[in-house]
Amino acid sequence: MVVLLFFLVGSIIVGFLGRYCRFGFWGHFFASVLLTPVVGLLLVLAAGPGCRDRRDAHATSSRTGSTDGTRAGTRAGTGAETEAGAGTAGGNV
Protein backbone atom coordinates (compact mmCIF):
# COMPACT_ATOMS: atom_id res chain seq x y z
CA MET A 1 0.00 0.00 0.00
CA VAL A 2 2.81 2.40 0.87
CA VAL A 3 4.62 1.51 -2.37
CA LEU A 4 1.49 2.33 -4.38
CA LEU A 5 1.22 5.68 -2.59
CA PHE A 6 4.84 6.56 -3.41
CA PHE A 7 4.28 5.43 -6.99
CA LEU A 8 1.25 7.71 -7.42
CA VAL A 9 2.89 10.67 -5.67
CA GLY A 10 5.96 10.23 -7.88
CA SER A 11 3.73 10.13 -10.96
CA ILE A 12 1.95 13.32 -9.87
CA ILE A 13 5.30 15.06 -9.37
CA VAL A 14 6.49 13.96 -12.82
CA GLY A 15 3.21 15.18 -14.33
CA PHE A 16 3.65 18.51 -12.57
CA LEU A 17 7.20 18.84 -13.91
CA GLY A 18 6.02 18.07 -17.43
CA ARG A 19 2.96 20.30 -17.44
CA TYR A 20 4.44 22.74 -20.00
CA CYS A 21 5.92 20.06 -22.24
CA ARG A 22 4.34 18.66 -25.36
CA PHE A 23 2.38 15.93 -23.56
CA GLY A 24 1.38 18.18 -20.68
CA PHE A 25 0.53 17.13 -17.16
CA TRP A 26 -1.80 14.25 -18.03
CA GLY A 27 0.46 12.77 -20.68
CA HIS A 28 3.45 12.64 -18.36
CA PHE A 29 1.32 11.49 -15.46
CA PHE A 30 -0.13 8.53 -17.37
CA ALA A 31 3.26 7.68 -18.84
CA SER A 32 4.64 7.60 -15.31
CA VAL A 33 1.80 5.40 -14.10
CA LEU A 34 2.10 2.99 -17.04
CA LEU A 35 5.90 2.82 -17.02
CA THR A 36 7.43 4.09 -13.77
CA PRO A 37 7.95 7.55 -12.28
CA VAL A 38 11.68 7.20 -13.01
CA VAL A 39 11.01 6.62 -16.72
CA GLY A 40 8.49 9.47 -16.69
CA LEU A 41 11.13 11.74 -15.22
CA LEU A 42 13.51 10.70 -17.99
CA LEU A 43 10.82 11.63 -20.52
CA VAL A 44 10.50 15.09 -18.99
CA LEU A 45 14.27 15.54 -19.00
CA ALA A 46 14.52 14.27 -22.58
CA ALA A 47 11.94 16.82 -23.71
CA GLY A 48 14.74 19.36 -23.45
CA PRO A 49 14.60 23.12 -23.60
CA GLY A 50 11.23 23.24 -25.40
CA CYS A 51 9.48 22.72 -22.08
CA ARG A 52 11.42 25.54 -20.47
CA ASP A 53 10.56 27.87 -23.36
CA ARG A 54 6.85 27.13 -22.97
CA ARG A 55 7.09 27.54 -19.20
CA ASP A 56 8.80 30.93 -19.61
CA ALA A 57 6.23 32.04 -22.20
CA HIS A 58 3.42 30.99 -19.88
CA ALA A 59 4.96 32.86 -16.94
CA THR A 60 5.39 35.99 -19.06
CA SER A 61 1.82 35.90 -20.37
CA SER A 62 0.38 35.31 -16.90
CA ARG A 63 2.24 38.33 -15.55
CA THR A 64 0.83 40.56 -18.30
CA GLY A 65 -2.67 39.16 -17.97
CA SER A 66 -2.76 37.76 -21.49
CA THR A 67 -3.59 34.17 -22.36
CA ASP A 68 -2.39 34.12 -25.96
CA GLY A 69 1.23 35.15 -25.40
CA THR A 70 0.76 38.77 -26.48
CA ARG A 71 1.07 41.73 -24.20
CA ALA A 72 -2.00 42.83 -22.29
CA GLY A 73 -4.11 45.38 -24.08
CA THR A 74 -2.93 44.55 -27.58
CA ARG A 75 -5.21 42.66 -29.91
CA ALA A 76 -4.78 41.68 -33.52
CA GLY A 77 -6.66 43.94 -35.92
CA THR A 78 -6.96 46.99 -33.66
CA GLY A 79 -4.61 49.18 -35.64
CA ALA A 80 -5.17 51.20 -38.79
CA GLU A 81 -7.59 48.61 -40.18
CA THR A 82 -10.09 49.45 -37.47
CA GLU A 83 -9.78 53.19 -38.04
CA ALA A 84 -10.17 52.80 -41.80
CA GLY A 85 -13.13 50.49 -41.31
CA ALA A 86 -14.83 52.94 -38.96
CA GLY A 87 -14.76 55.70 -41.58
CA THR A 88 -16.48 53.63 -44.26
CA ALA A 89 -19.00 52.01 -41.92
CA GLY A 90 -20.52 55.38 -41.06
CA GLY A 91 -21.75 56.00 -44.60
CA ASN A 92 -19.03 58.51 -45.55
CA VAL A 93 -18.48 56.94 -48.96
End-to-end Cα separation, the chain, in angstroms? 77
Q: How confident is the model at residue 50 (pLDDT cuts 50, 70, 90)?
A: low
pTM of the predicted model, to two decimals? 0.54
52 Cβ neighbours under 8 A, 6+ residues apart: 20
Q: Using DSSP, how many helices (H) and how many strands (E) does the chain show?
A: 5, 0
Q: What percent of the chain has pLDDT over 90?
A: 9
